Amino acid sequence: MVTQVVEIAEDGHHLSKYRGFMAIERDHIEVGRVPLDDVTVLILSAHQITLSKALIVEMAERKTPIMTCGKNYHPLAFSLPYDTHFDQTGILWAQIDCGQPLAKRIWQSVVREKITNQQITLDYFETNTSPSNELAILAKRVKSGDPENMEAQAARYYWTALLGAGFRRDRQAGAENSLLNYGYSILRAATARAISGAGLTPALGIHHHNRKNPFALVDDLMEPYRPSVDMAVRKIIDDGGLEEGALTPEIKKDLTKVLDLDVLHEKGVSTVMNSLHRMAQTFVTSLHEKKNKIEFPVFRRVGKLI
């Protein structure tokens, strides 16, 4: 699958459909075209943008999310197709019938895989071995439903080792957090696309249950993939990318490459984007068979990650 994240970051653009392309105009002059089949997500971060209805329909038919960002690149809204799968109603009932024992076992695997990938991230950057060892221990201690909140315990070791003792994960503060916000927004949109394409209803989570969050399942299932964004951000920092103190077009481009990162599955190597679709499909299988058969990737322990 070709992955292409399209962001409209400047005011005054109009987007429309032209045959099989998304045409981008400014002041009635075309400034670019993108094949609609290649668009993974459309990000609207500028304040004044217009879209034609024909384009919105084409995006919906391709299950391509349109993400509207607010301040600090935090996603405020997604546009997702309503009718996405031949068995959408059946899958919805399977989600509703998902009992707590199965939901807790799946969440256990979510947290375990997230912590494992955090550990691999620290090992890749050759950080202090003590936090990495602690994460390995915590991953093994994750129980059904994570009642002891190993996820939060791991985070305390992880962020300090990865980005320094002074770092705090705060969506509204710091250049590092701006990069993380942007990267997570891309990952969230790609996860929403995979979940929607599998016929799942994103509002029905297995762990997150905030009634004001229509993407609870997205936020559940993207957790093991978050370290891929963390890797990219750490590499940008190591390469001096924060010297300008802003999200430059080049930095944004580097963050979108997360979706093309190689990860390991039982059946071999895959990209993050393809892995998300596999994960969503195996989640549906888990619901139907009432067994935890969800497949998450493992980041490569050797070789080039970003």
Q: What is the DSSP string of 23-77?
A: EEEETTEEEEEEEGGGEEEEEE-SSSEEE-HHHHHHHHHTT--EEEE-GGG-EEE
Tell me: the pLDDT tens digits for 121-132? 999 888 667 888
Q: What mean pLDDT comes out for the span 213-240?
A: 92
Helix (H) or strand (E) holding 18: strand 13-18
pLDDT band at 303 (very low <50, low <70, confident <90, very high): very low
Check: pTM over 0.75? Answer yes or no. yes
pLDDT at 95: 95
Which neighbouring-strand residues pair with 34? Answer: 22
More confident residue, 200 or 211: 200
Amino acid identity, residue 300? R
Count the residues in the chain.
306
| 21 plus 143 within the same structural domain | no
| 159 plus 209 within the same structural domain | yes
The CATH number linked to 155 is 1.20.120.920
| 161 plus 278 within the same structural domain | yes
| 257 plus 196 within the same structural domain | yes
| 25 plus 122 within the same structural domain | no
Q: Which of 163, 156, 157 is nearest to 230 (CA)?
A: 163
The answer to whether residue 104 sits within a structural domain is yes
| 155 plus 45 within the same structural domain | no
More confident residue, 199 or 268: 199
The answer to whether residue 135 sits within a structural domain is yes
252-283 as b/e, with b when 16 or more CB fall inside 10 Å? Answer: bebbbbbbebbbeeeeeebbbbbbbbbbbbbb
The CATH number linked to 16 is 3.100.10.20
The answer to whether residue 75 sits within a structural domain is no
| 167 plus 51 within the same structural domain | no
| 47 plus 131 within the same structural domain | no
Q: Half-sphere exposure of residue 272, counting CA atoms within 13 Å on the CB side? A: 30
The answer to whether residue 270 sits within a structural domain is yes
Tell me: the pLDDT tens digits for 162-208? 998 888 887 666 788 889 999 999 999 999 989 988 989 999 999 98
What is the residue whose two structure tokens read 């950057």? 125
Give the integer Cα–Cα distance in Å for 136 and 71: 36
Amino acid identity, residue 156? R
The answer to whether residue 258 sits within a structural domain is yes
The answer to whether residue 74 sits within a structural domain is no
| 16 plus 115 within the same structural domain | no
| 237 plus 97 within the same structural domain | yes
pLDDT at 305: 46
Give me the percent of the chain exceeding a pLDDT of 90.
56
User: Does residue 304 surpass a pLDDT of 70?
Assistant: no
Average pLDDT, the chain: 88
pLDDT at 245: 60
The answer to whether residue 105 sits within a structural domain is yes
Burial of 100 (0-12, 13-18, 19+ CB in 10 A): exposed
The answer to whether residues 184 and 229 touch, using CB atoms and an 8 Å cutoff, is yes
The answer to whether residue 81 sits within a structural domain is no
pLDDT at 1: 55
Least confident range from 59-73, 103-117, 216-230, 246-260: namely: 59-73
| 207 plus 59 within the same structural domain | no
Tell me: the pLDDT tens digits for 123-157? 988 866 788 899 999 999 999 999 999 999 999 99
Give the chain's domain count: 2
pLDDT at 71: 67
Tell me: the pLDDT tens digits for 44-80? 988 899 999 999 999 988 888 898 887 666 677 778 7
Backbone angles phi, psi at 166, to 5 degrees: -85, -5
| 102 plus 187 within the same structural domain | yes
More confident residue, 33 or 240: 33
pLDDT at 242: 74
pLDDT band at 302 (very low <50, low <70, confident <90, very high): very low
Q: Which domain holds residue 141?
A: 88-299
